Amino acid sequence: MIEIFFKSKGQILSDTDVKILDKLGLDDVLWIDLHDPSGDEKRAAEDFLDTTLQSRAQAEEIESSSRYFETETTIFANTNFLIPGPDDYSSVPVSFILSESILVTLRHTPLRTLSEVQRKLLNNYKLFPTGYHIMVSILENRIDVDADLVEILSREISQLSRRIDLGESMDESFLLDVNQLQENTMVIRANEVDKQRVLSGIFKSDKFPRDVYSKLEVLNKDVDSLIHHANFSFERLEYLQNTALGLINLEQNKLMRVFTFVSLLLMPPTLIASIYGMNVKLPIISGNKIWDFFVLLCLMLLTVIMAIYLFKRRKMIK
């Protein structure tokens, strides 16, 4: 699908027919949005701008030179937009091509960020005199969305922390939740670093209008703040993970302590029962009296009571 935004009689119009490009000049078009385009739509945009658009594989390369680079007439920038899912985030590549002050966006997934900028462009075109301004507005809108994702992540971390404060049992599901949030935090941080690299390339460029640099400086500070916040969130998750593991170890130690205490209590009676269970003549039972059994039972109980007394004296039990 292709959507072309162009100037006509003091207003901005849009059209989804590639044939409109044959009637327009370079000064008329502001933005060509290519959403999962066909081969004909992509070739029409290339012919109109007299340039070559990037393939999806080129847009997904992670080298710094592939994220932002310029030629004499064209700027190429690639970044990733995050789409939140039920549990994790998926990363969608988006390519920006700027030529003759015309912006071309190439993507293969519907994105709310671009739809909102398109609506703003049609409502108030004076805010977007060139494709450079449109690109900066897209980045600004996207960074606001990323800030919302970081805020949601922070709330989810707070909910996990509250579960610990309420004394809920720590089990495998809790650790899996922490691990998933750690993965989401790393994805968000990597995404912000990617945008930082694009902004760094823009700052080095002399093609962008001077009036957008004040916004770019604010965006760069926002991205830096989001990176620091993501780092802090990851540290919080590590603390929660260590706390949960510590609580699990304490529960296991309590169980082992009970088993050890029971074993130690039963050791003296077991020893006595073993001795008097031997097939030899021993004290007390050699006379075959009826009260011999009760004497042995009392002796076993006495050893248990003595063991409990010693444990309490050494504060091994309460």
The count of other CB atoms within 10 Å of the CB of residue 120 is 15
With cut-offs at 50, 70 and 90, classify the pLDDT of residue 65: low
Cα dihedral across residues 141, 15, 42, 132: positive or negative: negative
> 202: which DSSP letter?
H
Sequence-ordered list of residues with C-beta below 8 angstroms from that of 254, at least 6 positions apart, any chain: none
* C-alpha closest to that of 45 among 14, 17, 68: 17
Say whether both 16 and 121 belong to one domain: yes
- Answer whether residue 116 shows pLDDT above 70: yes
Say whether both 28 and 141 belong to one domain: yes
pLDDT tens for 283-294 read: 555 555 556 666
Mean pLDDT value of segment 266-271: 76
Say whether both 282 and 261 belong to one domain: yes
d(CA 138, CA 31): 12
pLDDT at 289: 58
d(CA 161, CA 117): 37
Residue 123 resides in a domain: yes
d(CA 184, CA 306): 56
> 167: which DSSP letter?
T
Say whether both 268 and 231 belong to one domain: no
Say whether both 269 and 224 belong to one domain: no
The token duo for 177 is 């939740």
Say whether both 160 and 73 belong to one domain: yes
pLDDT at 73: 83
- Answer whether residue 62 shows pLDDT above 90: no
pLDDT at 268: 74
Say whether both 131 and 272 belong to one domain: no
Domain extent, residue 92, equals 2-248
Mean pLDDT value of segment 36-45: 86
**Element at 137 (helix H, strand E):** helix 131-165
Sequence-ordered list of residues with C-beta below 8 angstroms from that of 38, at least 6 positions apart, any chain: none
* C-alpha closest to that of 192 among 239, 145, 236: 145
pLDDT tens for 198-233 read: 898 888 888 888 888 889 999 999 999 999 999 999
The token duo for 268 is 């003296």
**The domain boundary residue, chosen from 248, 268, 302:** 248
Say whether both 29 and 152 belong to one domain: yes
Sequence-ordered list of residues with C-beta below 8 angstroms from that of 188, at least 6 positions apart, any chain: 82, 89, 146, 149, 150, 153, 226, 230
- Provide φ and ψ at 81, rounded to 5°: -110, 140
Residue 268 resides in a domain: yes
Q: Which of 35-39, 58-62, 305-309 has the lowest mean pLDDT?
A: 58-62
Task: Tell me what the pLDDT averaged over the chain comes to.
Answer: 82
pLDDT at 58: 64
Say whether both 148 and 273 belong to one domain: no
**The domain boundary residue, chosen from 248, 269, 299:** 248
| Cβ atoms 34, 107 nearer than 8 A | yes
pLDDT at 170: 74
pLDDT at 218: 93
Say whether both 9 and 63 belong to one domain: yes
Percentage of the chain exceeding pLDDT 90? 13
* C-alpha closest to that of 276 among 256, 259, 297, 248: 297
The token duo for 290 is 């009826």
User: CATH no. for residue 157?
Assistant: 3.30.460.20
Work out how many domains the chain is built from and give that number. 2
Residue 318 resides in a domain: no
Q: For residues 187 and 312, which has the higher predicted lDDT (pLDDT)?
A: 187
Q: For residues 148 and 264, which has the higher predicted lDDT (pLDDT)?
A: 148
d(CA 193, CA 161): 27
pLDDT at 63: 58
Say whether both 307 and 196 belong to one domain: no
* C-alpha closest to that of 62 among 20, 41, 33, 91: 91
The count of other CB atoms within 10 Å of the CB of residue 11 is 8
Mean pLDDT value of segment 5-23: 84
pLDDT at 222: 93
Residue count of the chain: 318
Say whether both 224 and 292 belong to one domain: no
pLDDT at 280: 44
Percentage of the chain exceeding pLDDT 70? 88
pLDDT tens for 72-86 read: 888 888 888 888 877
